[in-house]
Structure 1
Amino acid sequence: MNTHFRSRTARGVAVVSALALTLTACGREGGGGGGGGGGSASPGITDDSVTLGVTTPLSGATAGPGTCTVAGVKAYFGAKNAEGGVEFGDGKTRTVDIRALDDTYDPQQAKANYDQLKNDVFAMTAGLGTPTNRAWRDAAIADEVPQVLIMTGDPLFSDTEESPWQLGFVPIYQNEGEAFGELLATSSEEHKVAILSQNDDYGEGYVEGFKSAIEGADNIEIVDELTYEATDTSVDAQITELASSGADIFFNAMSVTPLMIASLQKAQQLNWKPSWFLPSNTSSPGAILEPGGAAAYPGIYSVSFAKAPQSPAFAQDEDVVEYLAALKEHGDYPDPPAFPHCQWSWMIGATLEQAFGEMTEPTRENFMEALRSIEDFQAPLMLEGTAVNTSEEGQPAVSTLNVQKFNGKGYDTVESFG
């Protein structure tokens, strides 16, 4: 099922024009890190190179996907640098350098990392996490530092009025939740749904999208709904209570890898075997589903917009072969990735290159205008039917996705539930 959901609150505005006006106004007000106007170079860029910053979890519970956020973008630009660099719209060819710092998924550390990087990098990109990216969003706006193509589904980052220097990359949480609800609504059978969600904007967004899609569906009933904290070390109590609900569908909006594995294992211990709906960032076959024993369940569903290297269907795919070779040589990532974030950050590199190619001035303002003008870009590794579009108000760079079902090794795209 290929799905393209738009925010119900999206404004019908001319995004690029509005952004240009906003950025021009910001430039006149003289933000802390925006660089001079009139084409004078912003921090982090010279005639020969541009430096990008990343703050992301490289240790702790989310280190697996966090490490991938750096590996993919380093691999992409490492390969480009080896070929001589990236050609910019101003006629200069520049190498692209990546400076990445570990925030351990801690908002306070993420803000400290941003403060350390902001005067030396041209833009911040690729970092994982809603609370960690939110921690320095206001500072990035005040400093006029791009915080773009970041890995959070928080819709705030794709609102050009509220966040003029930001842009998310992955589909917003509401998009994913709504996709699951739309799929479930295709079923002709009656279903009882149990919900467990992270007690923050991440979890709330998924649940909001899911509920909006099943509204009015007489065959679907939510029988129990609980939350957990991202800092929790166990959700056994929640799984035990939800198992007693008799639900045959489990909507688990969880972002923490160890907790997702433990949830899969605990439900089996309780002999509760519903069909699961899992977020894209915690649905890895190798890192999560196999250790969690997902094959015991009648169906595990997730969403994707990226080709999975571990899937036999893409084993010889030209994009995948090139990507895996670069990931090993330039991304310091020798094994096939267990998390999709490596593929996503590779796509981020390609999207950044598109924006660089449209820049006529070495400024952050001009970069934002160029980035916001990309339409229907089929980035390498994107699944058929998905594309990068950065000019849609209220939407991240990617808002198209496919609903998929776990087949024991990877995922197959599905059109209906069952």
Structure 2
Amino acid sequence: MNRHLRSRRALGIAVASALAVTVAGCGNRDDAGRSGDAAEGAPSPGITDDSVTLGITTPLSGATAGPGTCTVAGITAYFGMKNAEGGIEFGDGQTRTVEIEALDDTYDPQQAAANYDQLKDDVFAMTAGLGTPTNRAWRDAAIADEVPQVLIMTGDPLFSDTEESPWQLGFVPIYQNEGEAFGELLASSSGEHRVAILSQNDDFGAGYVEGFKSAIEGADNIEIVDELTYEATDTSVDAQITELANSDADVFFNAMSVTPLVISSLQKAQQLGWTPNWFLPSNTSSPTAILEPGGAAAFPGIYSVSFAKAPQSPAFAEDEDVQTYLSALPQYGNYPDPPAFPHCQWSWMVGATLEQAFTEMQEPTRDSFMEALRGIEGFEAPLMLPDTSVTTTEDGQPAVSTVVVQKYNGRGYDTVETFE
């Protein structure tokens, strides 16, 4: 039985300090397209009869540039493909192309806020950007400005609370549910387990740990023997890995979001002769970019969660959605290599979900868009795993509501039923 969990509602791109990606020809924005919603039904900024412009602030350089570039590549490829087909017919009857303007925030909250300020008057909505602290940095401003900040790559539950964040909506499952999914799998094991925890000292790490602990509460076969944190700005966690190795834990719950630190953690543990089973968050569990260079094959099991088909998996080699995606990614997303991070798939799904909203919005306004976006239910976006879907109708929940626990097989991941 696949383990699914409903969440509480989860490069080739040229990079400079600021990157602008244009999917279609820029086109001309008329005065009406920049006039906002002063008159009822008047077009909001960033949309004309011919095009709509979306903004992204995300890390395109620095330690998180790998997944960050994917947040741009996937959605750029999706809409590039759609634009080549003639555009998207919106609910108001107009056919529009979709343009993307993306800026590099280097995973720095202050720069992310500055990027938003630069983009807000020229884009219809902000989307797809990676990071909890970076998205939080301009959340209040987006609410005040009534600019949609939607389908973003953070598992922070705050962004899916319609009362607290009326202009926001997360895309990926919340952190608590990823942690809970693995905790439930571990708790169902018949063996005794000693667990060591290393988490990022922010809402990202705390959310994973909270979900994990809630799932193992009352499980007599699980003992947490040591728990440490690290800062997202740290350049090494060798000291923490050394201390945790001394705990002799057979399970390592590692809630990290920084790619180089995950790789170095895998390597350091092996140097110390400590080879526990690992749990990794979905955004730092890439087989090619993280597990292979980290020597993950040395461990008895590397577990993570997913809701997206992995293109490198033999199981999806002939999958039509995967083939379409892999063809469009280099052609329209300027991403020439096979995607190393799942964020490429996720942002492709974001594009498909946005298209669903565009086809239903009755007016070229942000209000109409948000109403349409929050009306999606049971949408099986391309690249979604079986039994997962996009649903935006439940308050407090992000767009993706299910995850599947998987185990690394040396190349990709296999869905698992029991913890070994």
* Residue in structure 1 matching 2:349, options 337, 340, 347: 347
Is the Cα contact below 8 Å between 1:34 and 1:143 reproduced in 2? no
C-alpha deviation, 1:415, in angstroms: 1.2
Is the Cα contact below 8 Å between 1:375 and 1:391 reproduced in 2? yes
State how 1:169-208 maps to structure 2 within 5 Å: 169-208=171-210
Is the Cα contact below 8 Å between 2:7 and 2:402 reproduced in 1? no
Match status 1:248 vs 2:275: no
Look up the match of 1:5. Answer: 6
RMSD across aligned positions (CA): 1.1
* Residue in structure 2 matching 1:44, options 35, 43, 46: 46
Alpha-carbon deviations, 1:267-311, whole Å to 9, x = none? 000000000000000000000000000000000000000001111
Amino acid at match of 2:301: G
Give the Cα–Cα distance (whole angstroms) in 1 for the partners of residues 96 and 199 of structure 2: 44
Give the Cα–Cα distance (whole angstroms) in 2 for the partners of residues 62 and 107 of structure 1: 13
Look up the match of 2:300. Answer: 298
The verdict on how the C-alpha distance between 1:288 and 1:33 changes in structure 2, with shifts beyond 3 A counting, is farther
Alpha-carbon deviations, 1:19-66, whole Å to 9, x = none? xxxxxxxxxxxxx99633521000000000000000000000000000
Q: Secondary structure at the match of 1:127?
A: coil
Q: Secondary structure at the match of 1:178?
A: helix
Alpha-carbon deviations, 1:164-215, whole Å to 9, x = none? 0000000000010000100101101100000000000000000000000000
- TM-score normalised over the length of structure 1: 0.93
Look up the match of 1:362. Answer: 364
C-alpha deviation, 1:312, in angstroms: 0.8
Which runs of 5 or more structure 2 residues have no equivalent in the other structure?
10-33
Give the Cα–Cα distance (whole angstroms) in 2 for the partners of residues 164 and 176 of structure 1: 24
Amino acid at match of 1:347: M
The verdict on how the C-alpha distance between 1:33 and 1:56 changes in structure 2, with shifts beyond 3 A counting, is farther
Alpha-carbon deviations, 1:203-246, whole Å to 9, x = none? 00000000000000000000000000000000000000000001
C-alpha deviation, 1:5, in angstroms: 2.8
Look up the match of 1:102. Answer: 104
Greater than 6 Å deviation, 4+ residue runs: none
State how 1:315-326 maps to structure 2 within 5 Å: 315-326=317-328
Amino acid at match of 1:258: P
* Residue in structure 2 matching 1:313, options 301, 312, 315: 315
Amino acid at match of 2:240: Q
Work out the number of aligned pairs and report it.
395
Q: Secondary structure at the match of 1:351?
A: helix
Is the Cα contact below 8 Å between 1:275 and 1:297 reproduced in 2? yes
Q: Secondary structure at the match of 1:388?
A: coil
Look up the match of 2:270. Answer: 268
C-alpha deviation, 1:2, in angstroms: 3.3
Match status 1:211 vs 2:240: no
Give the Cα–Cα distance (whole angstroms) in 1 for the partners of residues 7 and 235 of structure 2: 35
State how 1:138-153 maps to structure 2 within 5 Å: 138-153=140-155
Look up the match of 1:154. Answer: 156
Is the Cα contact below 8 Å between 2:7 and 2:173 reproduced in 1? no
Is the Cα contact below 8 Å between 1:198 and 1:253 reproduced in 2? yes
Amino acid at match of 1:208: E
Look up the match of 1:20. Answer: none
C-alpha deviation, 1:392, in angstroms: 1.2
Look up the match of 1:73. Answer: 75
Give the Cα–Cα distance (whole angstroms) in 2 for the partners of residues 369 and 54 of structure 1: 21
Is the Cα contact below 8 Å between 1:404 and 1:413 reproduced in 2? yes
Is the Cα contact below 8 Å between 2:142 and 2:148 reproduced in 1? yes
C-alpha deviation, 1:416, in angstroms: 1.1
* Residue in structure 2 matching 1:288, options 284, 290, 296: 290
Give the Cα–Cα distance (whole angstroms) in 2 for the partners of residues 73 and 226 of structure 1: 36
Look up the match of 1:27. Answer: none
Is the Cα contact below 8 Å between 1:181 and 1:213 reproduced in 2? yes
State how 1:392-403 maps to structure 2 within 5 Å: 392-403=394-405
Look up the match of 2:89. Answer: 87
Amino acid at match of 2:413: Y
Look up the match of 2:24. Answer: none
The verdict on how the C-alpha distance between 1:282 and 1:218 changes in structure 2, with shifts beyond 3 A counting, is same
C-alpha deviation, 1:315, in angstroms: 1.2
Is the Cα contact below 8 Å between 1:197 and 1:252 reproduced in 2? yes
Is the Cα contact below 8 Å between 1:264 and 1:293 reproduced in 2? yes
Match status 1:135 vs 2:137: yes
Look up the match of 1:239. Answer: 241
- TM-score normalised over the length of structure 2: 0.93
Percent identity for Structure 1 against Structure 2: 83
The verdict on how the C-alpha distance between 1:34 and 1:273 changes in structure 2, with shifts beyond 3 A counting, is farther
Which runs of 5 or more structure 1 residues have no equivalent in the other structure?
11-31
